[in-house]
Amino acid sequence: MKIAILGTGSWGSAIAQVLADNSNEVIMYGIEKSEIDDINAGYNKKYFGDLVLAKGISATSDLSFALDGAKLLVIAVPTKFVSSVLESARPYIGKDMLVVNVSKGFDPNTNNRMSDTVRRVIGDIVTTPVVSVIGPSHAEEVILRRLTSLCAVSVDASAARRVQEIFSNNYIRLYVNTDEIGAEYGSAMKNVIALASGMLVGQGFGDNAKAALVTRGLAEMTRYTLAKGGDAKTLMGLTGVGDLVVTCFSEHSRNYQAGLYIGKENGTKEFFEKNQKTVEGIYSCKVVYEDLANYDFEMPITSELYKILYKNKRPSDALGDIMSRPLKDEN
């Protein structure tokens, strides 16, 4: 089967290899000539050095060529580009094409979940339901074929099962989940907590503090997801606890690394001056914080992180304010 992937970054490349390992013809679309040339030579050196990619993967800057005859489309670009790239791809998308999103976060144009954005842009073209493949995963491990479990998430269980079968192999195992709201909010919000986790370490704190942060962060994620209509059980699964753990405790996480930098500097000024990477949790924090005005509950970790990122509050002051909050029952 021919599969088109929008994006030539690290996650798109890792997903491409999974699908090529499963005997599919994979063609990636990108705009960076160096990445395209590398992929066509069997590498993606920007992200993976001299690691040789699986055979059956090619790349192009021609959208029509990439999508021509493709039976499955994978969206693997940062959230801020999903809408514009899909708009460009519209003329070449077939109505029976199975559409899979692997981007996590919120659309910066609408603050919507990514599956809603996909439906908004191409929902009048495709007749198949959107499926999101999300869960605890780092491209740096998937590209090495290390064991990973993800979720195929869709409101349509049959579509999710089709994707489950296409992606799964001896090192990638997919589970089906139909709670699209819970899964997508969980995968987006864990980036917020991962930023805070990095900041804790940057401030010199250890495992006790991180354990407390992850636990209370999960409480905030669950509170908010329930308010949006998601299922609390989903937050106990791969797109909740699983995604939270992998981002809060791993050096591969961009959100954790961003938080670590900010924590060490005890401020954001230098980070924002130098950072050139996509850190999804920064915008996700803004979306959730601003939406809190519509609800009657608190999310202190998210709120303090927003003040650090957007109001120049020092992480040390934010930690002090959290620890001095009125004492409460856990539940």
What residues are annotated to the active site? 190
What is the Cα–Cα distance from 213 to 196, expressed in whole angstroms? 8
Of the candidates 63, 43, 72, the residue with the CA atom closest to the CA atom of residue 167: 72
Contacts of 325 (CB under 8 A, 6+ apart): 300
For residue 55, the tally of other CB atoms under 10 A from its CB is 10
* Alpha helices per DSSP H over the chain: 10-21, 33-40, 45-48, 63-67, 79-89, 114-122, 139-142, 157-167, 180-202, 207-227, 232-235, 243-248, 254-265, 269-274, 280-291, 300-311, 315-323
What is the Cα–Cα distance from 243 to 182, expressed in whole angstroms? 13
Task: Measure Cα distances from 38 to 45, 73, 85, 139, 207 in Å.
Answer: 7, 22, 22, 17, 40
What is the Cα–Cα distance from 284 to 111, expressed in whole angstroms? 9
Amino acid at 177: N
What is the Cα–Cα distance from 93 to 314, expressed in whole angstroms? 47
Mapped onto helix, strand or coil, the DSSP state of residue 98 is strand
Task: Measure Cα distances from 116 to 39, 121, 145, 250 in Å.
Answer: 31, 9, 31, 29
DSSP-derived secondary structure letter, 77: S
